[in-house]
Amino acid sequence: MKVYLDYAATTPLDPRVLDAMKPYFYKKFGNSMSLHSWGREAKQALEDARETVAKFMNAKTEEIIFTGSATESINSVLKGIAFANKEKGKHIITSSIEHHAVLESCKWLEKQGFEITYLPVDKYGFIDLEKLKASIRNDTVLVSIMHANNEIGTIEPIEEIGKICKEKGVLFHTDAVQSFGKIPIDVNKMNIDLLSISAHKFYGPKGVGATFIRKGTKIEPLLHGGGHEFGLRSSTENVAGAVGLAEAVRLRKKEMRPEEKKLTKLRDYLIKNILKIENSHLNGHPVKRLSNNANFWFAFIEGEALVIQLDSYGIAASTGSACSSSTLEPSHVLMAIGLKHEEAHGSLRISLGKYTKKSEIDYTIKVLPKVVENLRKISPFKGKWK
Ligand code: PLP
C-alpha cells in the first residue's frame, strides 16, 4: 500500500488545474506584454487569474502580484519593506517559529544593519500578544507573523495581531502558505497589509506563488527589469502558472469547507490512536491547529529513522529533525515550544490532504506502533534517558 501523508510539504496537482493550464503552454502561449492578439489573450488570462485570487481573500485585483514561489514572495516583502521604509526605521518583528524563508531573510537583513526582534512562543506555538504590543517601537516598520505553522499546524490569532499592528501604525505581513485554501482569509477583516502564498500547497503547480500588497504600501521591488506586475516583479509572466494557481483557488472555494470537516475527523482519529503508543506526545495545540496536521514526538527514537521505516511500508511522512543538515540541529519550531533536543529529534509530522482515505489512516495506525516498537528495541537512548 502506498500512502502519501506529507501534504504540508507539497500536494499533487489537481487534474482540473492541469486542464485549465494546458492551453497556455502551446495554443495561448503569448507574452502578456505583447500588443498583438496572442499577447492580449495572455494578458486577459493573467488578469482574470489575478481577479480570482484577489476575490478569494477580499483584496483588490491590482493588489495581487504573481511570483515564482512563496519563498520569493516572502523575500520580496521583507527586503522590499525594509529598504523602502528605512527612513522611518530599521526594526522588524517576527516570531521564532517562522519558516526559514522568513528567518533567513531576517538574518540577511541583520547583516545589512536592520534590527530584528524574534518573539518567543508558548508550549503550543502561540505568540504572546502583550509581548508583541510591547515590542513595537517608533522605528518598527514591519511585523511578520505566520498564519499557520508548517510543522505543528498551530494557527496564530492573525486578526488580533492585525488589529494591534493597525492601532500602532505598523505594516503587517503574514506567511499564509500553510493556511491559504484551508481556512478563510479576509485581508481587510484581518488587517493584513502583505501576504504570501504558494500554489503547490493547495493542489496547484509548483513554481508559482503570489503576494498580496495593500494599495499604497511603500515597497522596493526585488527584481528590476521590464516593469511587469505593476513594476513590482519584472520578468515575463508565467501565465500558465498564474492560471493554474487561480484554478486551484477556484476549486478551494468550493472544497475547502467540506474538506476541513472530513480532515478534522480523520486527524483526530489518527491522533487518538497514535497517542495510545507508550511515551508518545502530541506537538502543537489539540484543536487550534490546521485540520490536516498532526505532529508527535516519540521517546527514545529518531524522527529520521521513523520516516525511513515508514517509507519501507509505503507511508510518506516527515520529521522536524534536520536530516539535510550536517550539524543535526533539531527543528527550531520544536525547540521554541520547549522540547529538549532529544525530544525534538523524535518527532514525526503526518499531514493529510483531500485524497486521504480512512483506510490509509487505518493502515498508518496499524504500522506506526510496530515501527516505533522495533526502533525502540534497537534504540541507543533507551535506559540512558527518561
Ligand atoms: N512558508 C511556509 C510556512 C512553508 O511551509 C513553505 C514551504 O514549505 C514556504 C514558506 C516556502 O514555500 P515555497 O517552497 O513554495 O517557496
Read off the pLDDT of residues 126-140 as tens digits, 9 standing for 90 and up: 999 999 999 999 999
Question: Of all residues in the chain, what percent carry a pLDDT higher than 90?
Answer: 94
User: Is 175's C-beta closer than 6 angstroms to any atom of ligand 1?
Assistant: yes
Average pLDDT value over all residues in the chain = 95
Q: How confident is the model at residue 386 (pLDDT cuts 50, 70, 90)?
A: very low
CATH fold match for the domains 3-9+256-371 and 15-251: no
pLDDT recorded at residue 378: 86
User: In the predicted model, what is the mean pLDDT of residues 64-85?
Assistant: 98
What is the rounded CA–CA span in Å between residue 368 and residue 286? 20
Smallest CA separation from ligand 1 atom 6, residue: 177
The rounded Å distance from CA 181 to ligand 1 centre is 14
Which residue out of 1, 134, 275, 323 is catalytically annotated? 323
CATH classification (class only), 15-251: alpha beta
User: Is 349's C-beta closer than 6 angstroms to any atom of ligand 1?
Assistant: no
pLDDT recorded at residue 382: 63
Read off the pLDDT of residues 82-135 as tens digits, 9 standing for 90 and up: 999 999 999 999 999 999 999 999 999 999 999 999 999 999 999 999 999 999
Q: Where are the domains of the chain?
A: 3-9+256-371, 15-251
Of ligand 1's atoms, which has the minimum distance to the CA of residue 9? 8
pLDDT recorded at residue 186: 98
User: Is 277's C-beta closer than 6 angstroms to any atom of ligand 1?
Assistant: no
Q: Which has more confidence, 335 or 322? A: 335
Q: Which has more confidence, 322 or 121? A: 121
Q: How confident is the model at residue 385 (pLDDT cuts 50, 70, 90)?
A: very low
What is the rounded CA–CA span in Å between residue 340 and residue 1? 34
Which CATH homologous superfamily contains domain 3-9+256-371? Aspartate Aminotransferase, domain 1 (3.90.1150.10)
User: Is 198's C-beta closer than 6 angstroms to any atom of ligand 1?
Assistant: yes
What is the rounded CA–CA span in Å between residue 247 and residue 243? 6
Active site residue 323: yes
Residue 40 to residues 20, 21, 44, 63, 243: CA-CA distances in angstroms? 18, 17, 6, 21, 15
Read off the pLDDT of residues 347-373 as tens digits, 9 standing for 90 and up: 999 999 999 999 999 999 999 999 999
Contact present, 291 and 343 (Cβ < 8 Å): no
Report field, pTM of the whole predicted structure over 0.85: yes
pLDDT recorded at residue 323: 47
pLDDT recorded at residue 322: 54
User: Is 210's C-beta closer than 6 angstroms to any atom of ligand 1?
Assistant: no
pLDDT recorded at residue 380: 76
The closest of 282, 306, 271 to 379, measured between CA atoms, is 306
